[in-house]
Amino acid sequence: MISIVVAMGKNHVIGVGGKLPWLRIPADMRRFRELTLGKPVVMGRKTFESLGRKPLRGRLNVVLSRDRRYKAPNCLLLHSVEDVMEIFAGFDEVMVIGGAEIYRAFLPYASRIYLTKIDLAFGGDTYFPYVNWPSEWRVVESERVKKGRTSPYNLLFEVFERYPKP
């Protein structure tokens, strides 16, 4: 199963200048770690580079790049969505962690979205792709986190599952 993990502002912004546009959010970082630990994480080259070109510990890191000469040390380098789908067909859950191009490419195949909604609009240049939420997805979990010690913002953690196709 393909799952997407994403945090976004009210205006769907997910990045600015190759970085996250918000302050560090410990509650979201903890959730991300819990969701992804022990699972394959799929990211694009830009996301990998934003992580300092270092793999996330405790996960199989998969970097997608069209450049066949690109080097991603200690990661599995793949070149297409089809490669990922073929190699990980037998896995229970594969976590797609960004960026925007990668989200767009995997969205048609995703069965689940783990969404962190930050209750603030941010300036940015990178947006999560359009999703027809009410007609394609249903909320199966929802948890509010109030601004405070674990988050500088009000948050909403949601889990969406795709409606079965008729």
Nearest 5°: phi and psi at 59? Answer: -140, 155
pLDDT digits (tens, 9 = 90+) for 52-101: 899 999 999 999 999 999 999 999 999 999 999 999 999 999 999 999 99
Query: pTM to 2 decimals?
Result: 0.94
pLDDT bucket at 165, cuts 50 / 70 / 90 = confident
pLDDT digits (tens, 9 = 90+) for 42-58: 999 999 999 989 999 99
SS percent in the chain: helix, strand, coil, step 5 = 25, 35, 40
Residue type at position 95: M
Token duo for residue 88: 């990980």
Query: Worst-scoring range by mean pLDDT, 17-21, 92-96, 117-121?
Result: 17-21
pLDDT for the residue 134? 87
Domain ranges in the chain? Answer: 2-162
- Domain 2-162 superfamily per CATH: Dihydrofolate Reductase, subunit A (3.40.430.10)
